[in-house]
Structure 1
């Protein structure tokens, strides 16, 4: 008679591989019951690092040298946000959490302890907006002060 049982260590390895592959299939950006959930890594960058291909001209030095806390998504996702009185949907790879400005102190205090960590940020989907001016960082949606942040599963 043949032994058809898989050794414990192989079964555990297969289970871990399955879990890892399932995790990679989870979308980084989802809306559940009106709550936008974005998963990725919190990073702190100088304004210059957030420019991408945009030129520095016209942007104040205080913004170029300032600190910004950004959630870099695990994968690009589609986000709908408010812009100048209407809704706009874009596919993006990050979300803006906070800046060095005094007005962002509450948001900065939430984001700063999570730098370098894999997290999920949640906020009511109707509280997300797009910048209507050329302020930094250019591109990512603005997440209001009401966001919650927790370690990602």
Structure 2
């Protein structure tokens, strides 16, 4: 009798553990954009980003700049497509979105923009797209930059 009760408890325990197991067919982070590599460097007058990105549904922030004063800067960028289409944009401190580029096979661009005090976020958006990105912010006074990707720049 004790053996049967112990065996029944053991079977119930095993079944309850199996019911809590993860689904092996579930896609993990299926809607997440990722950077296979992301390298951000800076000097006293520029910020350079090199990235290899896969985009799927979500926006992918690659550069977040927080400036203390208004700053006019020059942007240069090259986007090289492996597959899919992406857009390159930035979000201003007042939450406006500005489109910089809508890609073709290879997109090159130069822009002059004014960074407003606060956080400006540069990002890529696309669905099932893979790209190499080269992005530069030139003519920036790094002493006016409070943070780059949430880290204070070294002067």
TM-score range for the pair, normalised by the shorter chain length? under 0.3
User: Which structure: larger Rg?
Assistant: 2
Q: Give the structure-1-normalised TM-score.
A: 0.27
Q: Which structure exhibits the higher relative contact order, with contacts defined as CA atoms closer than 8 Å and separated by 6 or more residues?
A: 2
The structure richer in strand per residue is: 2
